[in-house]
């Protein structure tokens, strides 16, 4: 799990308005941070298959949200993946 401070920072960085806490872009940012943490955990704990399954589920959720963002606004998608450092 990511810390509350880190999550708040991600939300503030990606939100479109003051009350935006659950938009697709914010969710992608939070998923990206959780994916990074799970990846580091799995480097140290190679046999943690439950965490590996959770990681794959998160990657799938993030992929679907990114497809949704790309279909609605291509430029916003490109800006988001550049900001988060995600490959196309």
The percentage of the chain sitting over the pLDDT mark of 70, rounded to a whole number, equals 100
Residues constituting the chain: 88
- pLDDT band (50, 70, 90) for residue 1: confident
Number of Cβ within a 10 Å radius of residue 12: 12
Query: What's residue 8's pLDDT?
Result: 94
Could you report the per-residue pLDDT of 13-40, keeping only the tens digit for each?
999 999 999 999 999 999 999 999 999 9
- Cβ neighbors of 42 (< 8 A, separation 6 or more) are 48, 51, 52, 55
Q: Is the separation of the CB atoms in 55 and 39 below 8 Å? A: yes
Query: What's residue 83's pLDDT?
Result: 95
Query: What's residue 88's pLDDT?
Result: 80
- Domains of the chain: residue spans and CATH: 4-84 (1.10.287.10)
Chain Cα centroid distance, residue 26: 8
Compute the average pLDDT of residues 41-68. 97
What's the predicted TM-score (pTM) here? 0.92
């Amino acid at each position: 799990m990511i810390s509350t401070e880190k999550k708040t920072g991600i939300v503030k960085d990606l939100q479109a308005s003051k009350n935006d806490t659950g938009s697709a872009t914010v969710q992608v940012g939070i998923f990206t941070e959780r994916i990074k943490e799970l990846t580091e955990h799995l480097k140290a704990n190679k046999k943690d298959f439950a965490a590996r399954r959770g990681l794959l589920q998160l990657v799938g959720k993030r992929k679907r949200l990114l497809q949704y963002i790309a279909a609605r606004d291509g430029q916003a998608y490109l800006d988001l993946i550049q900001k988060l450092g995600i490959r196309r």
